[in-house]
A and B are shown apart, each in its own frame.
Chain A
Amino acid sequence: MFSYEFMRNAFAAGTIIAIICGIMGVFVIARNMSFLTHTLSEIGFSGAAFGIFAGWSPLSGMLLFTVVSSVIVGQLSVRAERREAATSAISALFIGLGILFLSLANKNASYATNILFGSVIGISTHDVYQMLVLSILVLLVVLVIYRFLKFDSFDHTGAQVKGLWTNALSVTFLVLLALSVSVAAQIVGSLLIFILLTLPAATAKYFAHSVGGMMGLAILLALAGVWSGLVLSYVTNYPVSFFIAAIEAVFYFLALGWQHFQTAAK
């Protein structure tokens, strides 16, 4: 399996994605941003379609769209009572735009499938380096703002009272999330990227005893899903995103079952 360059690239890319999603996912869960992450992934689809239409790489289009829209979405979602509706409206608009750009670019359905569901064979060594650079950038920023981000994510009231710039932190986080979505969409596709950004962290919170532990466990769960998914996809020739989605969902349901069992036992 590793004699093929595309599989080596896929494993390298998958490892980078799992690490970035494990870390960012903890903040996504703490900030209740699962739905927003889903929307950003749809915006990623639209951005990739725009990239193809404009003659750029899909990643460049994704980066442009997700970063710009993350700031807009963040501003529109400041008021909690309109967050869901605003996010739904933006989601609908961007899916429509994605379809329009694909149509304008005169590309066939397989292009749309690749963007939406990802592709193992499409990852080049250049793509891996690109992901690595973007991921290091995201991790460095997270490292610098870690304490503030943790405070604001896990205790928003406390962070506000402390006088932290919670709005600036929120926008910074959304931009980081947009970068993570663009990176991760390369392998699992834009439609399923929210899986890796939400489920491993959501599962980890039931077993971890600290925020650092939750992060470590989320990375392990994401790695388990991505690596197993890649192997199963190679062996069966079925889409990798299906296996990753199924594995992460199974982990999550097992965690829910475990939690239910623990609560009942008390």
Chain B
Amino acid sequence: MTTTQPILQLDHLGMTFPGHPVFNDLTLTVHQGDFWSIVGENGVGKTTLMRTILHQLRPTTGTVRYLPGVNAVKIGYVPQFRNIDPEYPLTIRDFIGLNLTGWKLPWLSRRERQRVTQILHETGLDRLATRPIGQASGGEKQKAYLAQALVEQPNLLILDESTASLDPVTKTELLDLVTTLNRDLQLTVLFVTHDIPLARKYSQHYLMLTPHGTEQGAIAELTDQKVWRGERV
């Protein structure tokens, strides 16, 4: 049973695009330190839900609330793709530093540079710090996206299909790292994925979106039968 305080509350959330209901009456409480997998087939509304949580989309019904008691919820978001020109002279170090917008001078302060160095080390990107991000491999890019999301020390991390295009070894590396942060720093994680075995391996809870509704529970309750049923309807 979860004993930590709630960080995110979705109340009777619904989203309808013209003539096309996406999800309806979704209520979910996410506690600090939770690791949720958001599963469901393509087009069922997983990314729409994440964009609603990020306040990029306004829900048709219901509310998204970040709960008081948690010091200013900071969100880190790691998408599957980023549109970055391979020819930009934007190194991985520079790319991570983009997310530090607090200091007003154009260049990073010493403390900010140290923070970037620390996150490069934590994500295993030390050796690649000077590589242009556009020329990095898929796995290196995902690590850089993760590092950028983590540099501002978020308390909620959203991985939106971040592992979808990675090979099994890189997937494991990335999620092992996220799990360590989840365990050691109480980082709350929402992991959007199609990969049910991966969801079972790493998360504690699941939220399954299907064309006919949503279902949630402990990850152990996500049986093959439920997955099959969700995908069939």
- Report A's interface with B, CB cutoff 8 A: 30, 143-144, 146-148, 150-151, 154-164, 204-206, 208-214, 259
Contact = CB atoms under 8 A, between A and B. Distances in A.
14 contacts: A147-B100, A151-B99, A154-B90, A157-B83, A158-B98, A161-B56, A161-B75, A164-B101, A205-B89, A208-B89, A209-B91, A212-B107, A213-B89, A259-B87
Contact of B56 (A147, A160, A214): A160
Tell me what chain A mostly uses at the interface: helix, strand, loop, or mixed. Answer: helix
Given A147-B106, A151-B101, A158-B99, A211 B77 contact: no
Which 9 residue pairs of A and B lie closest in terms of their CB atoms, listed nearest first?
A146-B106, A208-B89, A161-B77, A151-B98, A147-B101, A214-B89, A154-B90, A157-B82, A155-B98
A147 B85 CA distance: 19
A161 B54 contact: yes
A162 B99 contact: yes
B138 interface: no
B98 A150 contact: yes
A88 B9 CA distance: 47
Contacts of A214: 89
B82 A158 contact: yes
Contacts of A143: 106
B79 interface: yes
Contacts of B56: 160-161
Contacts of B87: 205-206, 259
Given A147-B101, A155-B95, A209 B130 contact: yes
Nearest to B79: A157
Contacts of A161: 54, 56, 75, 77, 79
Contacts of A205: 87-89
Contacts of A209: 89, 91, 130, 132
B169 interface: no
A163 B154 CA distance: 14
Contacts of A147: 98, 100-101, 103-104, 106
Interface string B63-96: 0000000000001010100111101111100110
B110 to A, nearest CB: 16
Contacts of B142: none
A210 B89 contact: yes
B148 interface: yes
A156 to B, nearest CB: 7
Nearest to A146: B106
A147 B112 CA distance: 13
A99 B154 CA distance: 56
A231 B100 CA distance: 44
B90 A211 contact: yes
Contacts of A155: 82, 84, 90, 95, 98, 148
B91 A210 contact: yes
A154 B99 contact: no
Contacts of B55: 163
Given A146-B106, A209-B130, A154 B75 contact: no
A211 B89 contact: yes
